Every structure is written in structure tokens, then in C-alpha cells.
Amino acid sequence: MAETLAVTGTTKKEKYESLLPQIKALVEGENDLIANLSNIMSALKFGMNFFWVGIYFVKNEELVLGPFQGPVACTRIRYGKGVCGKSWELKQTIIVENVEKFPGHIACSSLSRSEIVLPAFDKTENVTLVLDVDSEDLAAFDETDKNYLEQVIKIIQGCVNL
Ligand code: SME
């Protein structure tokens, strides 16, 4: 396993293309969920230079904070609340260009201005966790992020559903 990630490319697409195989390699042959998710969060944060990236696990009727990289964050989010709870409820990826315009957005950091949240599913299509990525820039996330982060979700699902 490589000790440090080397992400090449200048465009977002090139960076994801460089990073994804390294994320796959990071978790290959390791079955510890927390270890794998922690490394994936670090790879995303430092590989893509995100402000905050983390997991919220579905536990009973709440989302509970899991492995993340970035400033401290809210520990629990209720079903349907905030962007994370809404992504869980709708079972779909949500891109928010301006968090101030998203009704019910939960501000863990006043520096976060846009975000993308993606749900991961178990084999019966229940949401098991969401991946939340935040940026200090407005409208930082688009279909390119959705496409590549959904590939990261597949890797995460592989770790969770072992
Ligand atoms: N903004 C999220 C809460 C999580 S933090 O940003 C890390 C939301 O509205 O669900």
C-alpha cells in the first residue's frame, strides 16, 4: 500500500481519475470498516482538497457521525433534517450550490458554503450511511463530483456489505 497519495491532473475529472484507483487499492484486502472508511475520508480530503468530508451512519432514527476529515461536526442528524437527512429520506444524491438557500440546512461550520451528500445502500436498498462533502466555495459540486463520488460510494458499499 502506498503511504502517501499522489494525485495528478489539473481538472477535477483528472484528479478523480487519478485518485479512484488509489482509493480502491487502499481498501483492498482489508476488512475493517472503520479503518477503510477513515482512509477513504483522508484520501478524499487531501486528494481533492475538500473543506470537510465525512460519513454519517444510519443508526435507529438518526444519522450518527462516523469517520471524517475536517473541523468538528454535528454528531447527530434526524431523519429528513438538513441535507444529510434529506438525502437519506429521498434515497438520492443532493447537490446544494448555496447552503444558505437550502431550507433546513444544518451549519456545522459557518465556512461551509456548498455541499454534496450521497447515500449508500445495503443489499435490500436501505440507506446505511451518507457521504457528505463540504466546500468553502459556492457551487463547488456538479455532475462530475456526483459521478465520481458515486463510484466512491460503490467502494464504500463494498466495505460495508462485506
Ligand atoms: N450540512 C449538513 C450537516 C453536516 S455538516 O455539514 C458536516 C446538513 O445540512 O445535513
Distance, in Å, from the CA atom of 19 to the CA atom of 119, rounded to the nearest integer, reads 20
Please report the pLDDT score of residue 2 as a whole number. 53
Asked if residue 105 has its Cβ within 6 Å of ligand 1, the reply is yes
Please report the pLDDT score of residue 161 as a whole number. 76
Please report the pLDDT score of residue 130 as a whole number. 98
Our mutation pick for probing the ligand 1 site, out of 58, 115, 131, 135, counting the most ligand atoms within 8 A of Cβ, is: 115
Asked if residue 65 has its Cβ within 6 Å of ligand 1, the reply is no
Q: Are 9 and 15 in contact (CB under 8 A)?
A: yes
How many A from CA of 2 to the centre of ligand 1?
Answer: 31
This prediction has a pTM of 0.95
Please report, in tens digits, the pLDDT of each residue of the chain (162 residues total).
556 788 999 999 999 999 999 999 999 999 999 999 999 999 999 999 999 999 999 999 999 999 999 999 999 999 999 999 999 999 999 999 999 999 999 998 999 999 999 999 999 999 999 999 999 999 999 999 999 999 999 999 999 876
Please report the pLDDT score of residue 7 as a whole number. 93
Question: How is residue 87 written as a grid cell?
Answer: 438525502
Question: How is residue 95 written as a grid cell?
Answer: 447537490
How many A from CA of 100 to the centre of ligand 1?
Answer: 12
Q: Which domains does the chain have, with CATH numbers?
A: 12-160 (3.30.450.40)
Distance, in Å, from the CA atom of 65 to the CA atom of 150, rounded to the nearest integer, reads 20
105 CA closest ligand 1 atom index: 9
Distance, in Å, from the CA atom of 86 to the CA atom of 20, rounded to the nearest integer, reads 27
Q: Are 53 and 133 in contact (CB under 8 A)?
A: yes
